[in-house]
Chains A and B, each alone.
Chain A
Amino acid sequence: MDDTLTRRAQRTLAYGFLFFILIAMATPFVWMLSNTIKEQSEIFQMPPTLIPEEPHLRNYVSLFVDFDFARHFLNSAFIAVVHTVSHLFLASLAGFAFAKYTFPLKNFLFLVLLGSMMVPLYTIFIPLFVLVIRLGLVNSYAGVIIPGVAGAFGIFFMKQSMEAVPGELLDSARIDGASEFRIYWQIALPLVRPALAVLAVLAFMGSWNDFVWPLVVLRSRELQTLPVVMAGMVNLYRMEYGVVMAASLLSTMPILLLFLALQKQFLAGLTVGAVKS
């Protein structure tokens, strides 16, 4: 009796805290949502209005008519999908190798990998720019996708997740004569599904929101991605605040949908127990 009472109190407290943080985090987002259907001057009106005085959809219309939103959306989607799929494969493969094998120079190679994350982009920006031109990658989607496809971040993340995969499982598969790739593909990979789902969202998001690199590679307006177009809406001589917020809102949708689609995977947890028994 007493026990259920404390549990109820605990639960109320837990929900209270979670909702408090949720509201704090969602407020700017919800406010932004309302700003997408306001006049520019109402966005700056003080005190701010949550429900617009004269709501309209002109910002959204302008997005599609003046800024060719659909076209850039598809460009971004293509790049992000190809990047995500290839990155999941390469990062989990390398992460598996780092987590589950001992091999000469492993620690050194891993430090090199980590080191690659520590170099600020603007340190190597100029040489990269030169390289893109010399390699003939200008204006190609391959040039946008290939350089970052085996990024260190994803490998590091997958390594840490792969470490939870029990070595005995892999060894018993080896005794059964499975090839190393098959062990990775059929045993290790299914076990880290939650991590893969998280990495899928992160990789997609990284590619979807990437700003500087597409600008280095892509020159034609028709090929450009969404963040680039959005950055053009607010600058020194032009401030389309309502439009940029509408664009921001619409551009979060694909990642949100992916997130929802992968919900089940997040929840899956590591099913080691089932495999073991």
Chain B
Amino acid sequence: MGLTGREEQIRAAPATPLQTAQSFLTNTVDSSIMKPADEKGLRAWWSRSERKVVPYVFISPFYILFIVFSVGPLIYALYLSLHRWPGSGPMRHVGLGNYTYLAGDPVFLKSLWNTVYYAIGAFLFILPLALVLALLINSTLIRIKSLFRIGYFLPILTSTVAATIMFLLIFNNQFGLINQGLALLGIPALKWLDEELVKISVLAVATWRYTGINVLYFLTGLQSIPPELYEAAQVDGAGAWAQFRYITIPQLRPIALFVGVVTMIGSFQLFAEPLLLANGGPNDASLTIANYLYRMGFTNAKLGYGSAIGWVLALIIFGLSFIQLYLFGAFRKED
């Protein structure tokens, strides 16, 4: 019976950094990779070492492109972030001056708060909604699955420009579709794009746009759960809730981790929606860090300061992802 085994697996503590480091060491010490061609020849060496060499070959395309197209530019951006420079003329070295200025820059702090707001919103609204929808579509209750899958996916296919025009008509302070609906209910019009509500409107557009893709991710996860697990549980007399709790949730873990990390990265890099809907305003009320980075680095040609914002943003995302991965036990040694 599989339940207890599964449960153990969830409860198994994630590897501590020390354990992870130890596993690196033991693996590295194993030196057979580096010893080719003894008397048995290359073939024998290959058949012994194939499993050790092959993963590096399989992952190498990414790292080659990463080194060419990201590492250099990143180092350059780091160098720029230590200077003030408008893109031409002499550079002024300021050490960590851009970073200290950033810590006291009211607009940056505002954009940081706005971005955190969007990220929390994504985790509170988009992901639970997507999970519920995926569970329903995947359940035996529902027969016409493809209609919903496609219907929910439509928004992300719509071009951002066209979608923005539609949403400006929907959120319009005077005549918007929502305000007309409220008027029918006798509720006075709300200013959806003003300081108080604009973040909610941005979040609504993001929910519209990104729920479907998360439904799709969760469905992939749900469909990769072997049906035998449920069959065995039913034989053992487990109810629907027990099956959900002890099979579905643990089995969804890899995909849930993926969805969580991707959503976090995505919401911290949110760019187009606030820009198009309200131009980051009014009074920077919807501005994200990515918008602010663009405003500084490009619109205002503060290349050094923009690079500093970019590095800080990347470090924030990296830190949060690391925590997420750690909590999900992603660094646990494979069994």
Contacts A25-B208, A123-B314: A180 and B51 contacting too (C-beta < 8 A)?
A: yes
- Chain A contacts for B48, CB-based, 8 A: none
> Given that A46-B175, A122-B298, A270-B226 are contacting pairs, would A104 and B24 also be in contact in the complex, using a CB cutoff of 8 Å?
yes
- The one of A123, A247, A252 in contact with B306, judged by C-beta atoms closer than 8 angstroms, is A123
Tell whether, in the assembled complex, residue B72 and residue A131 are in contact, meaning their CB atoms are under 8 Å apart.
yes
Interface centre among B52, B69, B293, B333 (most CB of A within 10 A): B69
Q: How far is the CB of B322 from chain A (nearest CB, A)?
A: 7
Does A189 count as interface, using CB distance less than 8 angstroms?
A: no
- Say yes or no: A103 contacts B322, CB within 8 Å: no
Known A31-B166, A124-B73, A164-B254: A248·B161 in contact at CB below 8 Å: yes
Instruction: Specify which chain B residues have a CB less than 8 angstroms from the CB of A272 in the assembled complex.
Output: 226
Q: How far is the CA of A97 from the CA of B147 in the complex (A)?
A: 35
In the bound complex, residues from chain A placing their C-beta under 8 Å from that of B146 are 263, 266
A161, CB-defined interface residue at 8 Å:
yes
A106 — which chain B residues lie within 8 A by C-beta? 55
Q: Which residues of B contact A47 (CB under 8 A)?
A: 175, 180
Could you tell me if B169 and A48 are in contact, using CB atoms closer than 8 angstroms?
yes
Complex CA gap A253/B153 in Å reads 13
Residues 71 to 126 of chain B near chain A (Cβ within 8 Å): 72-74, 76-77, 87
Q: Does B167 lie at the interface of the complex (its beta carbon under 8 Å from any beta carbon of A)?
A: yes
Q: State in angstroms the CA–CA spacing of A266 and B20 once bound together.
A: 36
Total interface residues on B, using CB and 8 Å?
A: 108
Q: Give the chain B neighbours of A98 by CB distance below 8 A.
A: 55, 59
Q: Could you tell me the dominant secondary structure of chain B's interface residues?
A: helix
A147 interface contact, C-beta 8 A: yes
Q: A84 → chain B, closest Cβ, in Å?
A: 15
> How near does chain B come to A23, taking the closest CB pair, in angstroms?
9
A142 within 8 A of B: no
User: Would A105 and B76 count as touching, CB distance under 8 A?
Assistant: no
Is A273 positioned at the interface, with any CB of B under 8 Å from its CB? yes
Judging by beta carbons under 8 Å apart, are A122 and B58 in contact?
no
Instruction: Compute how far the CA of A180 lies from the CA of B220 in the bound complex, rounded to whole angstroms.
Output: 25
In the complex, chain B residues whose CB is within 8 Å of the CB of A273:
226-228
Chain A residues whose CB sits within 8 angstroms of the CB of B293 once the complex forms? 120, 122-123
| Cβ distance A163 to chain B, nearest Cβ, rounded Å | 5
Distance in Å from the Cβ of A76 to the closest Cβ of chain B? 12
Q: Taking the complex as formed, is A157 at the interface, i.e. its CB lies under 8 A from any CB of chain B?
A: yes
A141 interface contact, C-beta 8 A: no
| Given A128-B69, A147-B68, A256-B150, 11 new contacts (CB under 8 A) | A17-B132, A28-B166, A31-B166, A102-B27, A114-B325, A119-B70, A122-B297, A149-B65, A209-B159, A266-B146, A267-B223
User: Across chains A and B, which 7 residue pairs bring their CB atoms closest together, nearest first?
Assistant: A123-B310, A127-B73, A248-B162, A124-B73, A97-B58, A46-B175, A97-B55
A-B contact pairs, 23 of them (CB 8 A): A18-B133, A22-B148, A22-B152, A25-B152, A26-B151, A90-B61, A101-B55, A103-B52, A104-B27, A112-B66, A118-B314, A119-B310, A123-B313, A127-B76, A127-B77, A131-B69, A156-B258, A192-B224, A205-B157, A209-B159, A255-B157, A256-B157, A259-B150
